Amino acid sequence: MSRNDSKYFSTTKKGEIPELKEELNSQYKDKRKDAVKKVIAAMTVGKDVSSLFTDVVNCMQTENLELKKLVYLYLINYAKSQPDLAILAVNTFVKDSQDPNPLIRALAVRTMGCIRVDKITEYLCDPLQRCLKDDDPYVRKTAAICVAKLYDINAELVEDRGFLESLKDLISDNNPMVVANAVAALAEIQDNSSKPIFELTTNTLTKLLTALNECTEWGQVFILDALSRYKAADAREAENIVERVTPRLQHANCAVVLSAVKMILQQMELITSPDVVRNLCKKMAPPLVTLLSAEPEIQYVALRNINLIVQRRPTILAHEIKVFFCKYNDPIYVKMEKLEIMIKLASDRNIDQVLLEFKEYATEVDVDFVRKAVRAIGRCAIKLERAAERCISVLLELIKIKVNYVVQEAIIVIKDIFRRYPNTYESIIATLCENLDTLDEPEAKASMIWIIGEYAERIDNADELLESFLESFPEEPAQVQLQLLTATVKLFLKKPTEGPQQMIQVVLNNATVETDNPDLRDRAYIYWRLLSTDPEAAKDVVLAEKPVITDDSNQLDPSLLDELLVNIATLSSVYHKPPDAFVTRTHSSAQKTEDGDYPEGSELGYSVSPGNPANGAASPPSSSYSMPASVAPASPPPGAPVPDLLGDLMGMDNSVVPLDQPATPARPALPIVLPASTGQGLQISAQLTKQDGQIFYSMLFENNTQVPLDGFMIQFNKNTFGLAAAGPLQVPQLQPGTSTSTLLPMVLFQNMSQGPPSSLLQVAVKNNQQPVWYFNDKFSFHVLFTEDGKMERSTFLETWRSLPDSNEVSKEFSDIVVGGVEVTLDLLASSNVFFIAKRKNANQDVFYFSASVPRGIPLLIELTTVVGNPGVKCAIKTPSPEMSAFFFEAIETLLRS
């Protein structure tokens, strides 16, 4: 549309649809064209103009390319809601696919591929087959992408009609853009298929390398990504491949550069010559450095990728550390990434430069950046033993500045340095003790208390220093309380004088009687019993030699690093997570639009919006759906005498032992769906369960962070049975070091997804302090079995006979043993799998059961086994055979339980 077409968006006439209908059927071409533009304008701003479908389709038969494009755009938007009427356009599509103009031929095939209507798909095959062999390369490259779209709609059709072979033939095309599109389509199809479809051979490799030099930049990215999956036969072949790809490092497009780097890194694993590897490292450094002169967003992506590269090949940028020095106008996210890379590249040779930079950063105005810089100094000290003393000197200089948050961060990292180099730098403890009054952050307090307890014998007034913290013991966070408890025990064991004796009595009393933190209470009981029974054993436990902490600058697991390096230049390398941690690939589940975007409500792995916000601040729930995971023991009644802990500890009376609480039946542990390592300290365990006929989502939240978490919300993505939360998530404020569980009631058929059935729940959870966390939870279908699934024998037999034999699927479980008939029947009945009849077949027992899933889908089950022997054959007959695999999983789960 041209600049003057904005007038079509401003109409306010009444009876607009009738007027448009009249104009669309006008005998004048210009009037029809203007009418279609008005329709597209109305559609663009959200008006429903689907009633004009037939009239717009009548405008398709035109020689005007602009008008044809507009009509095709309308068709793509409304064909899904009007599938029967969309058939009217098929003849024109087929005719246009043979038009003399290659632009129209390509447009027709592209549009048919974007209209995801099964009835149109069958008419697409013949035009697509012609276009894959078209004389014009523009048509061929468009047809190549269309094969990938068709595969997403109907994979079997693509395989049966031989489109995959035609696509592979296009890799030998003489036009590089056609080759690139064929590679892109095959890669897309391979991602959505479990079968090997796109396998590179030596012959294919040569063709791709030839096309690489003449492609557009995005074509080069597709080809490089494909080449990175090729495993060279030997070092010589790897060197030849790298030599052909190395010129791509000079490309202006950063995506091409990163894809080339990824491909070279993969092949370098096979190259044995140290000289060749060294030269390649030198060649990769300048393009990576050049990426850091781009705009901040590209810098950030480049830095996240460089972070991975230097963990595998630090020599690439070992001499380029200066380019990672932070500029005053760098955004904070760029500065943070540069700091991480500087720590990884720090060495004995450049540590003086690095420390000068870190010291400068510690005087910046951004508090988070300053904290990160101070912590970076400590990490360098832990990494480089020879430079540790210089790092300590810089930290002491920063402490003298007397800036509160700098001092606190310095104390935290000095504690780690003490752990790394025991009995080396303890002379600075006096300086640290001068700053006790400034400490107000839990981690800094805990670190200082650890230092006092660990070196109590060297600090003359250690008892006085600890006593200053004891005054506020009940109000301190759990982290500080735990550290204070341990430090006081250490002090008592090292200096068993009157002062520490009184302190230990106060601390143990507070920790066992006046707290509701189970971790603190349990630790206090353990210390109490140790000190009461055998103080020497207590020394062996509490004062034992601690393992030396190690450098954490390369913190990624080697196997994870390998996977991330394979995915350089993708979101995976930016998130530092494997693709399956944030993307769920489900065939036909996420419907693509023409431009390849995913529409609203598509699979959770691609797009999620949190919902069900809790009103106001989170408060402890009043319903029975939320239960604290741990309950503090009852406090002693008012006026009850507090046990003489000191007498007990000194061996005068060992009779005071905490009474065991009445045991409660243990629940089976919930599977972890969001580990603490992924959730930045928040760990979530969850499972779909059923109680009294109601489906619940049982969840356990564990807060391993340093801050309270509140305002929890949850959202379920579209799924096969439309499972959704029946109300907001009821989770009270979660203090650090605590956990809580909740039962979230669920409803069915609220959030239905299209496509094949799936037992995957895709969930988003957020709180006020953290970003949205996404996770997948695979549930067992037996949770959905309904109470009305029991059939009469006659009904069962009639239903079994009425279903075609093709609906019967069987599977054998060779290792399952049915030990007792009654126990098995009761177990299945408790999950709404109802016994119908039993018969003998030779020496085998054959059992028949019925069940039902929501919407009244019956499930007929036949189990054949020899009771007491391994091996169960399960046959299932149902009107929905596509769900049989999930029913098998459910039956197997029940039999194994």
Domain CATH number, residue 857: 3.30.310.10
Checking if the pLDDT of 590 tops 80, the result is no
Q: How confident is the model at residue 400 (pLDDT cuts 50, 70, 90)?
A: confident
> Does some domain include residue 125?
yes
Question: In this predicted structure, what is the pLDDT of residue 591?
Answer: 39
Distance from C-alpha of 99 to C-alpha of 119, rounded to nearest angstrom:
23
Q: How confident is the model at residue 605 (pLDDT cuts 50, 70, 90)?
A: very low
Distance from C-alpha of 308 to C-alpha of 560, rounded to nearest angstrom:
10
373, 381 contact by CB (below 8 A): no
Q: How confident is the model at residue 12 (pLDDT cuts 50, 70, 90)?
A: low
Task: Give 303's contacts (C-beta < 8 A, 6+ positions apart).
Answer: 292, 334, 337, 338, 341
Whether 31 and 122 map to the same domain: the answer is: yes
Whether 405 and 482 map to the same domain: the answer is: no
568, 308 contact by CB (below 8 A): yes
**Residue 510: alpha-carbon gap to chain centroid:** 41
End residue of a domain, out of 779, 809, 836 = 779
Whether 222 and 85 map to the same domain: the answer is: yes
Whether 372 and 430 map to the same domain: the answer is: yes
> Does some domain include residue 834?
yes
Q: How confident is the model at residue 656 (pLDDT cuts 50, 70, 90)?
A: very low
Q: Which two tokens stand for residue 12?
A: 């306010």
Question: In this predicted structure, what is the pLDDT of residue 683?
Answer: 92
Checking if the pLDDT of 650 tops 60, the result is no
> Does some domain include residue 283?
no
Give the domain extent around 480. 439-545
Whether 40 and 14 map to the same domain: the answer is: yes
Checking if the pLDDT of 796 tops 70, the result is yes
DSSP string, 596-664: SPPPTT--TTT------PPSSS-----STTEEES--PPPPPPTTPPPP-HHHHHTTS-----PPPPPP-
Question: In this predicted structure, what is the pLDDT of residue 304?
Answer: 93
Checking if the pLDDT of 536 tops 50, the result is yes
User: Count of domains in the chain?
Assistant: 5
Q: How confident is the model at residue 429 (pLDDT cuts 50, 70, 90)?
A: confident
Checking if the pLDDT of 472 tops 70, the result is yes
Coil, helix or strand for 784?
A: helix
Distance from C-alpha of 50 to C-alpha of 75, rounded to nearest angstrom:
10
> Does some domain include residue 650?
no
Checking if the pLDDT of 308 tops 80, the result is yes
Distance from C-alpha of 6 to C-alpha of 878, rounded to nearest angstrom:
56
Distance from C-alpha of 56 to C-alpha of 70, rounded to nearest angstrom:
9
Return the ∠ at Cα 750 (arms to 749 and 754), rounded to 5°: 70
Distance from C-alpha of 352 to C-alpha of 380, rounded to nearest angstrom:
11
Higher pLDDT, 860 or 555: 860
Whether 12 and 128 map to the same domain: the answer is: yes
Q: Which candidate, 848, 720, 726, places its Cα nearest to that of 789?
A: 848
Residue 594: CB atoms within 10 A of its CB come to 15
Dihedral angle computed from the Cα positions of residues 8, 13, 14 and 19, in that order, rounded to the nearest 10 degrees: -50
Question: In this predicted structure, what is the pLDDT of residue 305?
Answer: 92
End residue of a domain, out of 545, 570, 586 = 545
Task: Give 759's contacts (C-beta < 8 A, 6+ positions apart).
Answer: 720, 778, 779, 780, 781, 886, 889
Q: How confident is the model at residue 667 (pLDDT cuts 50, 70, 90)?
A: low
Q: What is the pLDDT of residues 746-757, one digit of tens each?
A: 888 777 887 777
- Checking DSSP bridges between strand 773-778 and strand 760-766, what pairing results, if any? antiparallel
Q: Which two tokens stand for residue 276?
A: 């060749």
751, 724 contact by CB (below 8 A): yes
Task: Using the structure block, give the residue that is written with the tokens 């296009």.
Answer: 170
Coil, helix or strand for 635?
A: coil
Question: In this predicted structure, what is the pLDDT of residue 602?
Answer: 35
Checking if the pLDDT of 600 tops 80, the result is no
Task: Using the structure block, give the residue that is written with the tokens 């796109």.
Answer: 198
673, 686 contact by CB (below 8 A): yes
Supply the mean pLDDT for the chain: 81
Residue 55: CB atoms within 10 A of its CB come to 19
Distance from C-alpha of 604 to C-alpha of 715, rounded to nearest angstrom:
10
* Exposed / middle / buried, residue 160 (Cβ in 10 Å: 0-12, 13-18, 19+): exposed
Checking if the pLDDT of 681 tops 50, the result is yes
Residue 698 phi, psi (nearest 5): -80, 125
Residue 874 phi, psi (nearest 5): -115, 125
Whether 448 and 411 map to the same domain: the answer is: no
Mean pLDDT over residues 685-693, rounded?
A: 86
Q: Which two tokens stand for residue 838?
A: 């039993």
Q: What is the pLDDT of residues 363-392, one digit of tens each?
A: 888 899 999 999 999 999 998 888 889 999
Distance from C-alpha of 611 to C-alpha of 186, rounded to nearest angstrom:
37
Whether 71 and 110 map to the same domain: the answer is: yes
Q: Percent helix, strand, coil in the chain (nearest 5)? A: 55, 10, 35
Checking if the pLDDT of 637 tops 90, the result is no
Mean pLDDT over residues 445-463, rounded?
A: 86
Distance from C-alpha of 663 to C-alpha of 660, rounded to nearest angstrom:
8
Higher pLDDT, 9 or 529: 529
Question: In this predicted structure, what is the pLDDT of residue 3?
Answer: 62
Q: What is the pLDDT of residues 16-36, one digit of tens each?
A: 788 887 878 877 878 888 888
Q: Which two tokens stand for residue 727?
A: 């109300």
Ramachandran bin of 464, using left for φ above 0, alpha for ψ from -120 to 50, beta for the remaining angles: alpha
Distance from C-alpha of 470 to C-alpha of 459, rounded to nearest angstrom:
18
Mean pLDDT over residues 89-105, rounded?
A: 84
Q: How confident is the model at residue 588 (pLDDT cuts 50, 70, 90)?
A: very low
Checking if the pLDDT of 70 tops 50, the result is yes
For residue 520, CA distances in Å to 443, 509, 540, 542 come to: 16, 12, 21, 15
Which residues, listed in sequence order, are joined to residue 685 by a DSSP beta bridge? 672, 700
Coil, helix or strand for 119?
A: helix
Q: Which two tokens stand for residue 202?
A: 């030596």
Domain CATH for 46: 1.25.10.10
> Does some domain include residue 328?
no
Distance from C-alpha of 325 to C-alpha of 350, rounded to nearest angstrom:
12
Mean pLDDT over residues 137-164, rounded?
A: 87
Residue 836 phi, psi (nearest 5): -110, -55
Checking if the pLDDT of 276 tops 80, the result is yes
Q: What is the pLDDT of residues 863-893, one digit of tens each?
A: 888 888 888 888 888 887 777 777 777 888 7
Whether 205 and 58 map to the same domain: the answer is: yes
> Does some domain include residue 470?
yes
Whether 532 and 393 map to the same domain: the answer is: no
End residue of a domain, out of 521, 545, 569 = 545
Whether 394 and 500 map to the same domain: the answer is: no
DSSP string, 272-301: --HHHHHHHHHHHHHHHHHHTTS-HHHHHH
Question: In this predicted structure, what is the pLDDT of residue 355?
Answer: 92
Whether 379 and 447 map to the same domain: the answer is: no
Question: In this predicted structure, what is the pLDDT of residue 358?
Answer: 92
632-642: burial string, b at 16+ Cβ within 10 Å, e else: eeeeeeeeeee
113, 149 contact by CB (below 8 A): yes
Q: What is the pLDDT of residues 216-257, one digit of tens each?
A: 888 889 899 888 888 888 888 888 888 988 898 888 888 999
Question: In this predicted structure, what is the pLDDT of residue 391?
Answer: 92
Distance from C-alpha of 522 to C-alpha of 520, rounded to nearest angstrom:
6
> Does some domain include residue 759?
yes
Residue 538 phi, psi (nearest 5): -60, -40
What are the residue ranges of helices labelled H in 813-883?
A: 821-830
648, 654 contact by CB (below 8 A): yes
Mean pLDDT over residues 801-816, rounded?
A: 83
Residue 839: CB atoms within 10 A of its CB come to 9
Q: How confident is the model at residue 585 (pLDDT cuts 50, 70, 90)?
A: low
**Residue 493: alpha-carbon gap to chain centroid:** 47
- DSSP state, 625? T
Which residues, listed in sequence order, are joined to residue 862 by a DSSP beta bridge? 848, 875
- DSSP state, 600? T
For residue 108, CA distances in Å to 93, 181, 237, 551 come to: 5, 18, 43, 60
> Does some domain include residue 623?
no
Coil, helix or strand for 875?
A: strand
Distance from C-alpha of 477 to C-alpha of 872, rounded to nearest angstrom:
55
Question: In this predicted structure, what is the pLDDT of residue 668?
Answer: 66
Mean pLDDT over residues 258-281, rounded?
A: 89
Count the alpha carbons within 13 Å of 654 in the hemisphere toward its beta carbon: 8
Which one-letter amino acid corresponds to residue 886?
F
Task: Give 252's contacts (C-beta < 8 A, 6+ positions apart).
Answer: 217
Coil, helix or strand for 210?
A: helix
- Biggest CA-to-CA distance, the chain: 111
